[in-house]
Structure 1
Amino acid sequence: WRVSTIGEAASVVGGSTPSTKVREFWDGPHAFATPKDLSLTSAPVLLDTARRVTEAGLAKIGSGLLPKGMTVLMSSRAPIGYLAVAQLPVAVNQGIAAIVCDRYLKPSFVLNWARQSMGEIESRAGGTTFAEISKSKFREVPCLIPTREVHDAFDDAAGPCYRLIAANTAEARTLAEFRDALLPKLVSGEMLPLGADSNGGP
């Protein structure tokens, strides 16, 4: 084991927000994450975002589109500490620190590291109106790096659990969308349960 920093163990990047006054930047195909998106997740996975950007909007974000499945997102302000693994390619705004696991640390490890290190992360925050940790300060947060053997054994155990969480969360979301689409039709009588007549009887 050795002591390093999260900035040495992974790539930490931030984002920005394209001008909301330019319509050509918005309502495109690319997911655009903000701390609010992270706050709405019921599990540590991000499946979609409230807003999307176009190619022109994406070009205004220096960090570009971050890879799905290997990017841990953390809100870096208002408040600090919402966490999720991106399950789709995503761009981020300035309120998110994105940890791209492009070395040997996997998202399962980084996610748990961030949870356990949140006190240390928050202690390095500044700001007068609300606490915020800069990306440069965040990169300096210590990270205890296990041997590859230990790390891989952990990921072999934890990785499938997180993948199952992601799959179950996606399935629950799909079922909720079906429910929301079908319930008004059932209530209005536009659709009937299988085997029911127009009077609601069998």
Structure 2
Amino acid sequence: MADSSSSYKKFDIRKRNPDPKTSVLLVIDMQNYFSAIAKPILPAIKTTIDLCRSVSIPVIFTRHSHKSPEDYGMLGEWFNNDLIIDGTVEAELMPEIGLESGDKVVEKNTYGAFRGTGLEEYLTERGIKEVIIAGVMTNLCCETTARQAFVSGFRVFFSTDATATSTLELHEATLKNMAYGFAYLVDSKRLEQGFSVI
């Protein structure tokens, strides 16, 4: 897991807090398939979810899976068909994340949560203008979703402590890219401080 404090100091070049009235939390792919990567950030994920719920920010979970080779796309080639198959235990969301009845789950079969899912329309219809990104993997599904959100006109907040990937180098490379061109960096402490002044 990455050391978010060092990442924060190096790349935190713009400062802003999400507006709970127009924000949503996107929890990306916290599934059993990614449990080795995801377990170390579970405390930060749970804190981030609880903080958002405490100020009535909706929480949306994404779940990545494939139903058949027809929907593998380039991922099949890239990962030699070692993919998350729908209906398997690996495809299920980790029970530790605290999914509640009524929480929306967006089903996807590629890195980004905005492609072919109806998520952009869903958020726009509800007046959402900002997205907070947490989950796994920092440099794949989280980063792609953040970029898609940004180019779709949403203000993006990217968690440094509630995202994770396979190496610190990859994690920090994404944080650097996000801070430079796509997202405000936040962590659970900043969210707590920002929400406490509301």
- TM bin (shorter chain): under 0.3
Q: Whose relative contact order is higher, 1 or 2, with alpha carbons under 8 Å and at least 6 apart?
A: 2
Higher-helix-fraction structure: 2
Higher CA-based Rg: 1
